[in-house]
Amino acid sequence: MFGHLLKDAKKDSITDVEVAILARKKDELLLLEEPYLNRQNFYHLPKGRIKEGETISQALHRVLMEETLLAASEVEKFLAYQDTETETGKKRSFYFVVSVVDPEEIQAKKYHSYAWAVPTEAVGYPIKDELREMLDLYMRT
**Cα 81 from Cα 112, distance rounded (Å):** 27
Q: What is the pLDDT of residue 24?
A: 95
Q: Identify the structural domains of the chain with CATH numbers, from first to last.
A: 17-140 (3.90.79.10)
Q: What is the pLDDT of residue 37?
A: 59
Strands (DSSP E) contained in the chain are 16-25, 28-34, 42-44, 47-49, 71-86, 89-101, 113-117
- Minimal CA–CA distance to 68: which of 41, 32, 97, 96? 32
Q: Look up the pTM and report it.
A: 0.92
**Cα 13 from Cα 7, distance rounded (Å):** 10
Q: What is the pLDDT of residue 69?
A: 86
Q: What is the pLDDT of residue 126?
A: 92
pLDDT along the chain (141 residues), means of 10: 93 95 95 75 93 96 91 95 91 97 69 88 92 96 90
